[in-house]
Structure 1
Amino acid sequence: MITTINNKHKKLNVPNLRFPEFQGEWEEERLADIADLYKGTGISKDQLSDDGEPCILYGELYTKYKSETIREVISKTNIDNTKLVRSKDNDVIIPCSGETAEDIATARCVLNGNILLGGDLNIIRLHGYDGTFMSYQLNGKRKYDIAKVAQGVSVVHLYGEHLKGVKTINPCLTEQKKIVSLLTLLDERIATQNKIIEDLKKLKSAIINYAINSLDTDFAKFSSLYEMAGEGGTPTTSNGSFYDNGKMPFIKIDDLKQKYLTENKDFITELGLQKSSAWLVPTSSILFSNGATIGEITITTYPVCTKQGILGIVPKQNIDVEYLYYFMSSSYFKKAVSRIVTEGTMKTAYLKDINNILCPIPTKEEQEEIVKIPSTLNSKIDTEKSILKLFITQKQHLLHQMFI
Structure 2
Amino acid sequence: MSAILDKLLKGQKVEWKTLGEICKKIYSGGTPNTSKPEYWENGTIPWMSSGEVNLGIIYQTEKFITELGLKNSSAKFVPKNSIVIALAGQGKTRGKVARIKIDLTTNQSLASLTFDEKLVNSDYVYHFLESQYENLRQISSGNGNRGGLNLQMISSYQIPIPPLDAQAEIVRILDAFTAITAELTAELTAELTAELTAELNMREKQYQYYRDKLLSFSDVSIETDSNRQQQTATDSIMRTTNE
TM-score, normalization by structure 1? 0.44
What is residue 164 of structure 2 aligned with on the other side?
Answer: 364
Q: What is the aligned counterpart of 1:340 among 102, 115, 139? A: 139
Task: Give the distance between the partners of 2:104 and 2:81, measured in 1 at CA.
Answer: 11
Point out the structure with the larger helix share: 2
Q: Superposition RMSD on alpha carbons, in Å?
A: 2.9
Q: Percent identity over the alignment? A: 24
Task: Give the distance between the partners of 1:343 and 1:356, measured in 2 at CA.
Answer: 18
Q: Which of structures 1 and 2 has the bigger CA Rg?
A: 2
The answer on whether the counterparts of 1:243 and 1:272 sit within 8 Å (CA) in structure 2 is yes
What is residue 36 of structure 2 aligned with on the other side?
Answer: 239
Task: Give the distance between the partners of 1:283 and 1:340, measured in 2 at CA.
Answer: 28
Call closer, same or farther: CA 1:240–1:323 in 2, change over 3 Å.
Answer: same
Task: Give the distance between the partners of 2:62 and 2:197, measured in 1 at CA.
Answer: 25
Task: Give the distance between the partners of 1:393 and 1:241, measured in 2 at CA.
Answer: 44
Give the paired residue count. Answer: 196
Q: What is the aligned counterpart of 1:217 among 14, 28, 31? A: 14
**RCO comparison, higher one (Cα < 8 Å, 6+):** 2
The answer on whether the counterparts of 2:28 and 2:107 sit within 8 Å (CA) in structure 1 is yes
The answer on whether the counterparts of 1:212 and 1:330 sit within 8 Å (CA) in structure 2 is no
Call closer, same or farther: CA 1:360–1:391 in 2, change over 3 Å.
Answer: same
Task: Give the distance between the partners of 2:194 and 2:171, measured in 1 at CA.
Answer: 35
1:60-75 correspondence to structure 2 within 5 Å: none
Task: Give the distance between the partners of 2:102 and 2:124, measured in 1 at CA.
Answer: 19
User: What letter corresponds to residue 232 of structure 1 in structure 2?
Assistant: G
User: What letter corresponds to residue 223 of structure 1 in structure 2?
Assistant: G
Q: Deviation per CA, 1:119-144, whole angstroms, max 9, x where unpaired?
A: xxxxxxxxxxxxxxxxxxxxxxxxxx
Task: Give the distance between the partners of 1:216 and 1:314, measured in 2 at CA.
Answer: 24
Moved more, 225-234 or 207-216: 207-216
Q: What is the aligned counterpart of 1:284 among 77, 81, 85? A: 81
Task: Give the distance between the partners of 2:150 and 2:114, measured in 1 at CA.
Answer: 17
Tell me if 1:324 matches 2:125: yes
Helix, strand or coil: the match of 2:80? coil
Tell me if 1:208 matches 2:5: yes
What is residue 46 of structure 2 aligned with on the other side?
Answer: 249
User: What letter corresponds to residue 330 of structure 1 in structure 2?
Assistant: S
What is residue 178 of structure 2 aligned with on the other side?
Answer: 378
Q: CA deviation at 1:352?
A: 1.3
What is residue 262 of structure 1 aligned with on the other side?
Answer: 59
Q: CA deviation at 1:210?
A: 3.2
Call closer, same or farther: CA 1:397–1:274 in 2, change over 3 Å.
Answer: farther
Task: Give the distance between the partners of 1:215 and 1:327, measured in 2 at CA.
Answer: 15
Give ranges in structure 2 of 5+ residues lacking alignment: 206-243
Q: CA deviation at 1:211?
A: 3.1
The answer on whether the counterparts of 1:315 and 1:321 sit within 8 Å (CA) in structure 2 is yes
Q: What is the aligned counterpart of 2:72 among 275, 287, 291? A: 275
What is residue 50 of structure 1 aligned with on the other side?
Answer: none
Q: CA deviation at 1:264?
A: 2.3
Q: CA deviation at 1:353?
A: 2.3
Q: Deviation per CA, 1:171-204, whole angstroms, max 9, x where unpaired?
A: xxxxxxxxxxxxxxxxxxxxxxxxxxxxxxxxx4
Q: CA deviation at 1:393?
A: 8.2
Q: Deviation per CA, 1:146-193, whole angstroms, max 9, x where unpaired?
A: xxxxxxxxxxxxxxxxxxxxxxxxxxxxxxxxxxxxxxxxxxxxxxxx
Q: CA deviation at 1:395?
A: 9.0
Q: Deviation per CA, 1:13-60, whole angstroms, max 9, x where unpaired?
A: xxxxxxxxxxxxxxxxxxxxxxxxxxxxxxxxxxxxxxxxxxxxxxxx
What is residue 108 of structure 2 aligned with on the other side?
Answer: 308
Task: Give the distance between the partners of 2:53 and 2:17, measured in 1 at CA.
Answer: 26
Task: Give the distance between the partners of 1:228 and 1:392, measured in 2 at CA.
Answer: 45
The answer on whether the counterparts of 2:95 and 2:149 sit within 8 Å (CA) in structure 1 is no
The answer on whether the counterparts of 1:328 and 1:334 sit within 8 Å (CA) in structure 2 is no
User: What letter corresponds to residue 377 of structure 1 in structure 2?
Assistant: F
Call closer, same or farther: CA 1:235–1:212 in 2, change over 3 Å.
Answer: farther
Call closer, same or farther: CA 1:361–1:242 in 2, change over 3 Å.
Answer: same
Task: Give the distance between the partners of 1:312 and 1:290, measured in 2 at CA.
Answer: 10
Call closer, same or farther: CA 1:271–1:220 in 2, change over 3 Å.
Answer: same
Task: Give the distance between the partners of 1:392 and 1:282, measured in 2 at CA.
Answer: 40
Helix, strand or coil: the match of 2:25? strand
Q: CA deviation at 1:369?
A: 1.6
Call closer, same or farther: CA 1:387–1:245 in 2, change over 3 Å.
Answer: farther
